[in-house]
Amino acid sequence: MSPTTFRRLMNLWPPFLFNSIRVTDMSDDWSDCKVVLRLRPWNRNYVRSQFGGNLFAMTDPFWMLLVMHQLGKDYYVWDKAGAIEFVAPGKEDVYAHFKLEPAVIDELRAAAANGEKVLRWFDTDITTASGQVVAKVRKQIYVRLKPKAREAAASAA
C-alpha cells in the first residue's frame, strides 16, 4: 500500500475519524509522519481539555508502521509496550511528529541480524501549534528477523 493510500484510509478509520484525529502527512519512504488531534466538543474530557485516551490513540500505530515499512517483509514488527505522561492540559488542537532516522533502521537491522528479538523505545512529544508539550508518549517496538530470512542469511554466509 502506498503511503498516500495509507494516510487516506487512516483518516477514514472510525477510531480516528470519530475522534478528530487526522494523518496530515506521510512521507513517500515511510520515514516521516505528522498527525493532528483537533479539539472538538465530542472529544473533550470533563474539564474541557483533550481526552487522554485520544492523545495516546493519535500516536498508537505510527512507530510500528514506520519501522515495519522501513525494514520490509523479512521482519516481524510489533508494538510491545506503551506509556504516556500528561504534562499540561490540551486546550487546543495538538500535534505529533514521527521521524524515523536511517541510522535507527540500520541499528535495528544489525541488532536483529542473528535472529534475536530486539526491543527499542521511541519517544514522541504531543505539542500545541506553538510548541508547548501537552504529553510525552513512549512506545516500545519489538523487531525480529523472520525464520526464512534467517535461513537465507545463514546459507549466504
pLDDT tens profile 81-129: 999 999 999 999 999 999 999 999 999 999 999 899 999 999 999 999 9
Position 60 pLDDT exceeds 80: yes
Looking at the DSSP assignment, which residues form a beta bridge with residue 123?
A: 138
| Residue given cell 546459507 in the structure block | 155
Q: Cα(99)–Cα(63) distance, rounded to whole angstroms?
A: 9
- Grid coordinates standing for 55? 492523545
pLDDT of residue 151: 78
Domain ranges of the chain: 3-156
- What is the pLDDT averaged over residues 25-41? 96
**How far is CA 33 from each of CA 25, 44, 137, rounded to the nearest angstrom?**
5, 24, 15
pLDDT of residue 132: 97
Q: Cα(12)–Cα(107) distance, rounded to whole angstroms?
A: 34
Q: Are 156 and 121 in contact (CB under 8 A)?
A: no
Q: For residue 63, what are the contacts with CB-CB under 8 A and spacing of at least 6?
A: 79, 98, 100, 122, 124, 139, 141
- Grid coordinates standing for 147? 525464520
The reply to whether CATH 3.40.50.1380 applies to domain 3-156 is: no
Over the stretch 131-141, which tens digit does the pLDDT of each residue have?
999 999 999 99
